[in-house]
Every structure is written in structure tokens, then in C-alpha cells.
Amino acid sequence: MLTRSPAPTNPLDRLTEAGLAWGEGTYARLAAPIGAAAFALYILLTAVMAWFMPDANWDMLPYLAVAEEGAYPDVQALHDYAYGTVKAGVSADEYKILTDDSGGFRSHMAGNAADFHSLLGMYRIKFLYAEILSTMSSVMSPVEAMRVVSVLSVLLFGTIALLWLRSEGALALAPVVGAVLIMADFGDAARAATPDLLCSALFLGGLFAYVRGREVATAILLFLAFMARPDNIVFLAIFAVLLVAFRQKAWGALAGFAASLAAYFAISHWAQHPGWWSHLWFSSIEQHYNMDGFDPPFSAVAYLRAFAVSMARAVSLNNWVGVSVLALAGWFASSRAGFKLDCRAGILFAALVLGVLAKFTVFPIHDTRIYFPNLIPPFLLLAGPFMALWASAGIKGRRAAVLHVVPGDKS
């Protein structure tokens, strides 16, 4: 039998108890606005960091080259433009890191325009990002354009996440989503001059539109997310198969997949992409200095070695595996408690999890940024069930207190 704790006699204890009771009651009443404010503050801080402390990574060079290929048809001129633009937009120390690794890959590319140009097919395929940079570079420096895209992507992602939580009546859980974003290296993705966060924001918007039944917006946003990172075709294919298998009416998602599938082959041909195995070899097996005509024979041994090494690095160096397991644990806990996702949301949750597994299987690379688009939506899908579980636990707790708490021990 439960009994009340003896009333505190020490003035400090009474003051502490009163303060905790006030804080608990205040947060219970204002959990939604407090959660929304805390999440918004985190998003704004991340956007500020993306602008003032950007990550100068080597991928900036080929992305800037791809964006201005039309203006510099000569290979050497394009090389000079890309390196000169980055040199003007970053610090001297950062530029040295990007161009001098003591005779390694970066040093070689800084001095060899033809080999640098041979790599562009792997970046040209990110069509939407390159076109946005090309358009924005007419009114600002290209490096600033990269930062603007990153900042806007952060703000768009945060806004959609808040709207999703609000639609589920789950703004009180916004700090939890913020914590998951931190674990998923959201800040690193925001600071990087890559299309990853742009893709993630458009992808999140497409999934939110799907959940809300906005089919036209779903098709457009999922297609745009694919155009920013075509490897999203893996998720879209799994999602389409599950929708058809479970006879779920969602023509927006199916249309987005169909358009992306058609565009995938067209863009791959136009971009002169080296192909799946050559790209995988470059990214996960060995950096080849010239990709023109590079077509190594497939090797199961090399693939399995790359898979094992990438998995070891993912588990020990990155967070996407842990975040994915945490999402599965949340789904299991809410389901066991009787608060399950509906069919439409359940299909999406399954597609997101399977999409991560399939993407790693098809192209084993350990970086969290590759899987980031799939990491956060599962937690947003679970926000509704967890709010229902929270409310149910509160009601049961109050009933238990009324039935079992007695004034004192009567033994």
C-alpha cells in the first residue's frame, strides 16, 4: 500500500518541494508552447551556425564546377574557376586543407584539371542542387549561395517538423525531436556545402503531405527531393511496392516514384554518370583518380569487404544505426502499449526503415548524411501514438492515486 511521504519540516525542503510542484504544474500547462519555443530556438541556432561556421568540405569544388559548366566549356578554365572561387570564399587554412594532403588525392586534383573533370559525373547527377547554385550565383558569390541554400534548408526542415508535430497535437514532444536531430548529426548536415539537407527538407515536406492526404504536394515534393539526391529512388521504389501490396490509395507517392524512375535514367545518361559499381568502387573501395572509362569488373569479394568495413565504421563512428534502432524501439513500445500506427502511417514507417537498410545494401557507405532523410520522419510518425500513450498514462496514474494513496500507514 502506498503512503504519503512525511511532510517536510525543514524550510529549505519545503521551499524546494514547492518550487518543484510549481515547475511541474507550469510545464504541464505550457508544455506545447515551451516545446515549440525550445525547438524553434534550436533550429535558429543551427541556421546561425550554418551561416557563420560553415564546413569547408572538398565536395564544394565539384559542385561549383558542375553549376557553371555551361559558362566554362574548357576543362582547365572550369578547374581554375572552381578552385579560384573556393579560394576566395574560405580562409587560407581551409583552402590549404582542401588542396594539399601531402601528395594524395586532394593535391592531385588541385593540379590536374582533366582528372578533376572526370569526377563530375558523380556530382552532375544532383541536378536540382547544381541548378539552384547556378541561378543564385548570378546575384551573390557561389560560396555564399551554398551557405544560403544550407540556411534555408535548415529553416524549411524545422518549419515542416513543427507543423507536423502541431498537426499531431504533439508540440510538447518537440524537444525530444530536437534531441534526435542532434543525435542524427543535423548540425553537421546543416554546415556542409552539399545537397543533403536540401533533399531532407523537401523529402520531409513530401512525407508530411502524404500523411495529410495532399497528393499533388506529395508528388511534387518527393520528385524534387529525388532531383536533389537521386539515390532517394531506393526509398521511393520500396514505398511504391508497399503501397501497391497493401492496396493503399496514394497516387501522389506513386506518381512521384514514376516520375523519379523515368528521370533517373534520363539524368544518369545526361550526367554521364560512371555507373553503380564504378561509383561504389570510388566511394567505398578505392579513390580512382580518373573516372573516364573506369569500369572495373564486379567483384563479390570487394563488395563484401566494402560492406563489412562500412558497417564497422557506421556502428563505431556514425549515429544512423543507433537512431534507426531507437525509432524501432519506439515503434515497438507504442505498439505493445496498444497505440499503433494506422495503415497509411505504418506503411510509411516500414518504407523508411527498409529504405535505410536497402540503401546501405545497394551502396554501402557509412556517412550518416546519406541516410539522414529517413531518420527523422519515423519519430514524427510516432509522435501521435506517444501523445496518446502519455495522456493514457496520466489518466491511469491519477486514478491509481485516488484508489490507493491513503493518509498514513494503518498497520
**Phi and psi torsions of 201, nearest 5°:** -65, -45
Instruction: Return the sign of the alpha-carbon dihedral for residues 100, 314, 116, 195.
Output: negative
Cα Rg of the chain (Å, integer)? 25
Q: Quick one: cell of 82?
A: 572552381
**For residue 31, what pLDDT is reported?**
85
* Residue 182: C-alpha distances to residues 205, 289, 323 (Å): 20, 35, 10
Provide the mean pLDDT of the chain: 90
**For residue 29, what pLDDT is reported?**
74
Q: Which residues contact 52 (CB under 8 A, 6 or more apart)?
A: none
Decide if 387 contacts 173 (C-beta within 8 A).
Answer: yes
In the predicted structure, residue 240 carries a pLDDT above the cut 90: yes
| pLDDT, tens only, 283-301 | 999 988 999 999 999 999 9
| pLDDT, tens only, 322-367 | 999 999 999 999 999 888 999 999 999 999 999 999 999 999 999 9
Q: Quick one: cell of 314?
A: 557506421
Alpha carbons within 13 A on the beta-carbon side of 216: 0
**For residue 114, what pLDDT is reported?**
96
In the predicted structure, residue 230 carries a pLDDT above the cut 50: yes
Which residue type sits at 41?
Answer: L
- Give which of 186, 177, 263, 189 is closest to 219, Cα–Cα: 263
How large is the angle between the packed helices 196-211 and 142-167, nearest 10 degrees? 20
**For residue 168, what pLDDT is reported?**
93
Residue 391: which pLDDT band, with cuts at 50, 70 and 90? Answer: confident
**Which 3 state secondary structure label does DSSP give 55?**
strand
Percent of the chain at pLDDT > 70 equals 90
Q: Average pLDDT of 379-384?
A: 95
Alpha carbons within 13 A on the beta-carbon side of 242: 20
d(CA 91, CA 89): 7
* pTM for the model: 0.90
Residue 398: which pLDDT band, with cuts at 50, 70 and 90? Answer: low
In the predicted structure, residue 406 carries a pLDDT above the cut 50: no
DSSP string, 8-50: P-SHHHHHHHHHHHHHHHHHHHHHHHHHHHHHHHHHHHHHHHH
- Give which of 164, 204, 161, 171 is closest to 387, Cα–Cα: 171
d(CA 318, CA 371): 11
Decide if 223 contacts 85 (C-beta within 8 A).
Answer: no
| pLDDT, tens only, 29-64 | 788 899 999 999 999 999 999 999 999 999 999 999
**For residue 395, what pLDDT is reported?**
55
**For residue 143, what pLDDT is reported?**
95
d(CA 269, CA 219): 23
**Phi and psi torsions of 119, nearest 5°:** -85, -15
**For residue 338, what pLDDT is reported?**
87
Decide if 165 contacts 360 (C-beta within 8 A).
Answer: no
